[in-house]
Amino acid sequence: CYVEPTVILANSINDSLLNEETFGPIATFLPYDSEDELLELMNNTPYGLSASLWTNDLSKALRMVPAIHAGTVWVNMHTLLDPAVPFGGVKSSGIGREFGSAFIEDYTELKSVMIRY
């Protein structure tokens, strides 16, 4: 099965492609009027694996990144993964982190052992 890359213009915030995770070459767009509205639209989802923000204004991007509820935020790119950088989601998109040193805590369980011999 192969899905052609697809671009869709959403009609409203209630469109299913804005409210469900799609793992495929699908980009869904919805116009907005202000930075506050954009952040509200981006965060109004039960998911938060990743987000991408596209802009020519780097200072605006750096101001917005902390307000975006996602485990990874890419600016002017998408899906670049670096094994040295932790990757994982928030909300209903993944628990914990993979890659980097952060994953060690998720894949190990500490045990204390004390012996008197």
Please give the domain boundaries of the chain with CATH numbers for all domains: 32-107 (3.40.309.10)
Q: Tell me the pTM.
A: 0.72
Q: How confident is the model at residue 86 (pLDDT cuts 50, 70, 90)?
A: confident
Mean residue pLDDT of the chain comes to 84
Report CA 77 to chain centroid distance, whole Å.
12
pLDDT in tens, 11-57: 998 998 888 877 788 888 999 999 999 999 999 888 888 888 889 99
Q: What pLDDT is recorded for position 111?
A: 59
pLDDT score of 19? 82
Structure tokens at 47: 């998911």
